[in-house]
Structure 1
């Protein structure tokens, strides 16, 4: 079994840059039509692929456990792996939530949030913008552990259940003119009271975590297929995704989840793990993608506040470049400090 996947590290780094481009509306001033295509189709699959690899590497560890271990000891090790992963993600989330507190306070004040809404925001929604991915991963892993190791469902049932969950996310933000939306409307209304976007939640992410689990468990089978077939599958899936989304693409219609993303993310992930590569990816690149993702929104917030207070008009291209460079600087500083202070747990919680 392979231990290094350089294309995955490169994809995560480039993916973080592409996400920053979305949140700074980089393409909007250049070509508005391409901006919607870029946002809704090209980059929309990046986070689902992040979910897949979060699960993939966890289940590779489980696959690598000694098969001679007793059932009880194996279950204890698996539980510890899930627990360790979830705690690490939560500490990362907690650390960056504190850093994003100024922006979060502004948002909570503008939405007139009470104590209940704030509690739901922190534990379910995501305390700072883009943190929904971290919260969804924690919830998704808990769901997978329960379904797999407590009630012992196989992968087929896992796919069925999480596809139903994903369908709820899709209906919430994309297919609202159907009977299912009407049935779920009371739930959706309750979610909106707490400012919870179902499309950006574990309803979205858990399916892709299951896909990562299956790829890890069947890696030998999947890697027997030539990588160019997966690339062709990803490109074809992108075409189908465009057809699904293009029926109403625009400023006020940017779906967070739709069915076309499933094959796109699946084939992209398989392509990235199946391509033979001897590229040596520097450790700093592997570490930077997380810090760029978690830091960029607070950078955007402060840059916009500064420009607003000083009457400076900033183009979306300029905002992107400032945010990208600043997030890279933050990543390098955190990496260098962590490397020179190995026992500093505070820094480890941020990266």
Structure 2
């Protein structure tokens, strides 16, 4: 039975945020700045993008599922919807796997040196660890989303969230507080297992699982839990959490506690409250009908661009670095590289969207 209590909502702020986050993901890989600017932009602000991407993806998926439920989760959650979603991600992921094959295949051969090892490595990269740049996000979704779906369906939303939390806390302990946890004997066992299976801690189990579960939880509370959706309830918690994230980042850096800034404790409340605020705010509510229609078109365009920026930028970055080194022998200024990568990436994305109007199958790329 379909639950008609809520119409499908156009989340304009989410579309805009996804576009901004795609630009921040480029900064994570290019690292365009130096000194204090690099620390604030590359290592703190940009790091909010990954957990927020996972939560948004899970929220939008589970909101559709929960909107159709009028009774028990076990009976109401649709396997068909999960199957459709998984096929969509697999198609998108496989298309880009084929596009990047000329880069991935030679590198994998160099790593392995034999056909058998190469095939096993490619299977691992395809299913578990991500094979190129930001593509690990899609492998993480392929594991995390079915896992969250199954646990929510059979154990409930609350227990699913609770079971997912220790995995991310393990990632925090081993990535950002490793100078403390290196002395724990159990840490070595976890490292051997995680690196042996996934290749690193940024994967669908130790990273994507928790943030997808958090996105599911937000969808559950807003759809079935009767949560009031007032943006004023989330603005101040978002700000406070972000300030605490800044403090945590400085402590990690100044005390030499960790390896990177990709998995910090205060990424949890910062991304959680920020998503709640983005879902609740409507900064365009006083627009006229025609202006709102134009804005909706622009937001839909940004939504497509964000996916293409996410998938294209790493190849553009390596291509520009290669070309400059090969033909001039010079080295990029990293700020210039960042701006160039964004310009070329957005240009290519716009060309794909333009070409898709005539070549319909190109929609698989986004």
Which bracket does the TM-score occupy, shorter chain normalised?
0.7 to 0.9
TM-score (norm: length of structure 1): 0.88
**Structure 2 counterpart of 1:204:** 207
Counting only pairs closer than 5 Å after superposition, residues 1-351 of structure 1 correspond to structure 2 as 1=6, 3-28=9-34, 32-65=35-68, 67=70, 74-75=76-77, 78-105=78-105, 107-109=107-109, 111-112=111-112, 114-115=117-118, 116-149=120-153, 152-176=154-178, 177-178=180-181, 181-192=184-195, 196-219=199-222, 224=228, 226-249=230-253, 253-278=259-284, 280-281=295-296, 282=298, 283-310=300-327, 311-342=329-360, 344=361, 347-351=362-366
Find the residue that maps to 1:197 and give its secondary structure.
Answer: coil
Q: Which has the higher helix share?
A: 2
1:47 Cα deviation after fit: 1.4
Superimposed CA distance per residue, residues 59-114 of structure 1 (whole angstroms, 9 cap, x where no aligned partner): 12112226499986x45xx1111111111111111111222223324543554473
1:223 Cα deviation after fit: 6.3
Find the residue that maps to 1:37 and give its secondary structure.
Answer: helix
Structure with more contact order per residue of length (Cα contacts < 8 Å, sep ≥ 6): 1
- Contact kept, 8 Å, 2:176 with 2:261, in 1: the verdict is yes
TM-score (norm: length of structure 2): 0.85
- Contact kept, 8 Å, 2:324 with 2:331, in 1: the verdict is yes
1:256 Cα deviation after fit: 2.0
- Mapped to 2, the partners of 1:57 and 1:255 lie a distance apart of 27
- Contact kept, 8 Å, 2:194 with 2:200, in 1: the verdict is yes
Find the residue that maps to 1:218 and give its secondary structure.
Answer: helix
For residues 109 and 246 of structure 1, do their structure 2 counterparts lie closer, same or farther at Cα, with a shift above 3 Å needed? farther
Find the residue that maps to 2:357 and give its secondary structure.
Answer: helix
For residues 268 and 313 of structure 1, do their structure 2 counterparts lie closer, same or farther at Cα, with a shift above 3 Å needed? same
Find the residue that maps to 2:344 and give its secondary structure.
Answer: helix
- Contact kept, 8 Å, 1:53 with 1:212, in 2: the verdict is yes
For residues 7 and 90 of structure 1, do their structure 2 counterparts lie closer, same or farther at Cα, with a shift above 3 Å needed? same
1:313 Cα deviation after fit: 2.6
Find the residue that maps to 2:55 and give its secondary structure.
Answer: helix
Q: CA RMSD in A?
A: 2.6
- Mapped to 2, the partners of 1:71 and 1:158 lie a distance apart of 13
Q: Where in structure 1 are there 5+ consecutive unaligned residues?
A: none
1:331 Cα deviation after fit: 1.4
Find the residue that maps to 2:133 and give its secondary structure.
Answer: coil
- Contact kept, 8 Å, 1:36 with 1:249, in 2: the verdict is no
Q: Where in structure 2 are there 5+ consecutive unaligned residues?
A: 1-5, 285-291
For residues 69 and 241 of structure 1, do their structure 2 counterparts lie closer, same or farther at Cα, with a shift above 3 Å needed? closer
Q: How many residues align?
A: 340
For residues 43 and 95 of structure 1, do their structure 2 counterparts lie closer, same or farther at Cα, with a shift above 3 Å needed? same
1:4 Cα deviation after fit: 0.2
For residues 340 and 223 of structure 1, do their structure 2 counterparts lie closer, same or farther at Cα, with a shift above 3 Å needed? farther
